[in-house]
Chains A and B, each alone.
Chain A
Amino acid sequence: MSPTLAAHTPAERMAVAFARLLRGAGLKVPLGSVLTFVDALGRVGIDGRDGVYWAGRATLVRNPEDIPLYDRSFAVFWTHAQTLLDEQAVETLNLTLAIDDDSDEGSDDPGSSDADDECGPEITLRFSAVEVLRHKDFAEYTSDELQLAQQLMAQLRFIGPPRRSFRQHRSPRGRRPDLQATLRAALRTGGEPINRQWREPGDRLRRLVLLLDVSGSMEPYARAMLRFVHAAVSGRQRVEAFAIGTRLTRVTRELNSRDPDKALTEASTRVHDWSGGTRLGECIRVFNDQWGVRGMARGAIVVVLSDGWDRGDPVELGRQMERLQRIAYHTIWVNPLKVTPGYAPLARGMAAALPYVDDFVEGHSLASLQELAAVIATDISRHPRGRA
């Protein structure tokens, strides 16, 4: 530790110490940002609390969600930094102590991820087991079976229907002249544009947005579904994933890492409300306000995975689903309980949401997830919305 601190100017010492504290608190602070922070401190000075605070905000924070964490760390840091700067002699130990002080926040060690065996060929070997698994309810899975199921899910790479992109590419059957290519060709024929070239707009995949209920009532399915979400994320480019429970948590970044098990652990440590009750309407409202309506859900395929048990106001859920459906391209609700004999969407939340759902599918087994993959791939223009 000490070599990095065997430094230098007070600004550098301050920057390094604070960066360490932030990292301890769980913020990602790359070295480049620390260097910029040092520069910034050089400009605003290290004596004023406000100057240091804002210099750090501008250089070390990159997401509004991180601001509260930054604020708390800064408060802790500033009290220690004051004493540190008073006694000119640097004691590296002081700094380490400052970090430990904040340990209530930084207790998220990434966990050990040991299960990352490549799984390609094994699938064929265990084919019969697979057949059994296909229709088994996720709630009855053992952890080994879940492992195997996950390997199968990784094969569920589906492609949603594309939409017209604004970006054009060269095409012999295009309708718009491609002047650039025409000119290039004309050079070959002495400046005479004999062979004309054309371009046309390309296709682009729609964004897939997954809203995943992780509350207690969904616990048995939540893990399996998270794995399905992960399979989808690593198979496609533009997928956004959110966990909904007592509040909305974005898990896109966690799921983007290539190792599913690690991603799952990370996601579940971030979803604090793993077994609390669900406030569906409230969470979907937050999603609409902060992400969806601004653009994320526009023209997107939105998949809600939930049993529809809502502790909140069902009217609110209906209102928010209506809002969501109005901007989304295709709204799909996956409810694992749909398969239960005699099930009717009795959960009040479910009943309120149903009019604003284009497709309502099961999600309790591998086979049904396959069906879901097919639904996601439907081109909704050939599938009129069944709104009641």
Chain B
Amino acid sequence: MATTPSSPADVSAALSAFGYIPDDGLSTSVFLAMSLQRPLLLEGEAGVGKTEVAKVLSRWTGGELIRLQCYEGIDVSQAVYDWDYSRQLLHLRASEATGESLGLTTSALEQQLYNERFLLKRALLQAIDHRNELPPVLLIDEVDRADDEFEAYLLEVLSEYAVTVPELGRFAAIRPPLVILTSNRTRDVHDALKRRCLYHWVEHPEFEREVRIVRMRVPQALDRLARQVAGAVETLRTLNLYKPPGVAETIDWAQALSALGVSDLDERTVAATLGTVLKYREDQERTRQHGLTDLVQQAFVRAATPM
């Protein structure tokens, strides 16, 4: 049975149970995407957990996760379907060798070749033509990296949930997949595609939510460490860095610190582990200029604020 939540609160509870703590906006968007059967476009900074949403949805609904990583130059043969040419050629040779092809007309031969068994289904066709009870979760990752031509094709697939293979006919989804698109905004996704989708801009989580995320993802970290790390990251995000740390970095950092057996932040461990949160030399320098002692102090103050 396909999962059909009855309210955004349902979605929020379910996602939390499966390891993702959403805010109100995200759970409403996901709820609407599921109940209106619309694709959901998630945009936001790198590392705020856009891709993770699809993974968690797959775990929750039990639908298979089908991922299409977009890149420049991606085309139908890589995203939708392709023919298995080497097997087709072999088949031709084999039918010639056995003499089978002698009695066949070209069109009969062609029909043999353009048969579903020589069809390689790529992510989009897989998601449309799934044969499972549960609709799959289709993740179209970093759609902004694909070129406009591909976007136009995508629009067609997403509005009909159907794909046409000229040699075979039309594949239409019986149970449409749950579609999540992500974009880092390296360029604007075309308006028509956006209109087809529901839209959610994913923000960095606020302090308490981030603490909960760290606790959930890094259970071995002590509570007070989780609060301090979230507090320090919150400060880092205000420093005008080239790449402000995302949730992914917060989790990495907490993991690194707890692996080192740290129970409280201090200047020395921060200096030693700064590379897990800040990936630019300039950002690390700027943070040192801000002062690691200050950073730790601010983190302690923030950690001590009651909920």
**Is residue A43 within 8 Å, beta carbon to beta carbon, of the partner chain?**
yes
Could you tell me the distance between the alpha carbons of A179 and B84 in the complex, rounded to whole angstroms? 9
CB atoms of B73 and A62 under 8 A apart? no
A111 within 8 A of B: no
Determine the chain A residues whose CB is within 8 A of the CB of B83 once the complex forms. Answer: 180, 183
Nearest Cβ in chain A — how far from B217, in angstroms? 25
- State whether B36 touches A36 (Cβ < 8 A): yes
Q: Are A187 and B242 in contact (CB under 8 A)?
A: no
Residues of chain B within 8 A (CB-CB) of A373 are none
Give the CA-CA distance A57 to B201 in the complex, in Å.
9
Give the chain A neighbours of B32 by CB distance below 8 A.
40, 43-44, 55, 58-59
Residues of B within 8 A of A234 (CB): none
Asked whether any CB of chain A lies closer than 8 Å to the CB of B75, the reply is: yes
Chain B residues within 8 Å of A180, by CB: 83, 85
Is A102's CB within 8 Å of the partner chain B?
A: no
> Do residues A54 and B24 form an inter-chain contact, with CB atoms below 8 A?
yes
B195 at the interface (CB under 8 A from A): yes
Could you tell me the distance between the alpha carbons of A62 and B185 in the complex, rounded to whole angstroms?
12
| A120 part of interface (Cβ distance < 8 Å) | no
Which residue of A64, A167, A192, A240 contacts B201 across the interface (Cβ within 8 Å)? Answer: A64
Answer whether A187 and B8 are a contact pair too, CB < 8 Å, given A43-B36, A57-B200, A64-B43.
no
Residues of chain B with a CB closer than 8 A to A293's CB: 242
Contact A166-B72, Cβ < 8 Å, known A62-B194, A187-B109: yes
Verify if B25 is at the interface (C-beta below 8 Å from A): yes
Task: Please judge, given known A-B contacts A186-B89, A193-B89, whether A294 and B29 are in contact too, CB under 8 Å.
Answer: no
Interface range for A: 35 or more
Query: A26 interface residue, CB < 8 Å from B?
Result: no
Complex CA gap A20/B186 in Å reads 31
**In whole angstroms, how far apart are the Cα atoms of A167 and B146 in the complex?**
11
A61 nearest in chain B by CB position: B199
Q: Are A294 and B185 in contact (CB under 8 A)?
A: yes
Tell me which residues across on chain B come within 8 A of A252, comparing CB atoms.
188
Q: How far is the CA of A26 from the CA of B36 in the complex (A)?
A: 27
Contact B187 A296 (CB under 8 A): yes
**Alpha-carbon separation in the docked complex, A82 to B24 (Å):** 21
Q: Which B residues lie within 8 Å of A190 (CB)? A: 96, 101
C-beta contact mask, B19-36 vs A, less than 8 Å → 1, else 0? 000001100110110011
Residues of chain B with a CB closer than 8 A to A30's CB: 195
A51 touching B8, Cβ below 8 Å: yes
**A32 lies within 8 A of chain B by Cβ:** yes
Tell me the smallest distance from the CB of B43 to a CB of chain A, in Å: 7
Residues of B within 8 A of A63 (CB): 188
Instruction: Check B195–A33 contact: CB distance below 8 A.
Output: yes
- Minimum CB distance partner of B25 in chain A: A54
Q: Please indicate the chain A residues that have their CB under 8 angstroms from the CB of B145 in the complex.
A: 295
Residues of B contacting A57 with CB < 8 Å? Answer: 25, 28-29, 199-200
B86 interfacial by beta-carbon distance below 8 Å: yes
Nearest-neighbour CB distance to chain B for A53, whole angstroms, equals: 8
Residues on B close to A: CB < 8 A? Answer: 7-8, 24-25, 28-29, 31-32, 35-36, 38, 40, 43, 46, 71-73, 75, 83, 85-86, 88-89, 92-93, 95-96, 101, 106, 109-110, 113, 144-145, 147, 184-188, 191, 194-195, 198-201, 242, 282
Known contacts A54-B28, A166-B73; can you find 4 more A-B pairs with CB under 8 A? A62-B191, A167-B73, A193-B89, A295-B187
| 11 A–B contacts from the bound complex (CB under 8 Å) | A43-B35, A44-B28, A50-B24, A50-B28, A57-B199, A61-B199, A180-B83, A183-B113, A187-B109, A294-B46, A323-B242
6 smallest A-B Cβ distances: which pairs? A295-B186, A166-B73, A179-B85, A191-B92, A54-B28, A167-B73
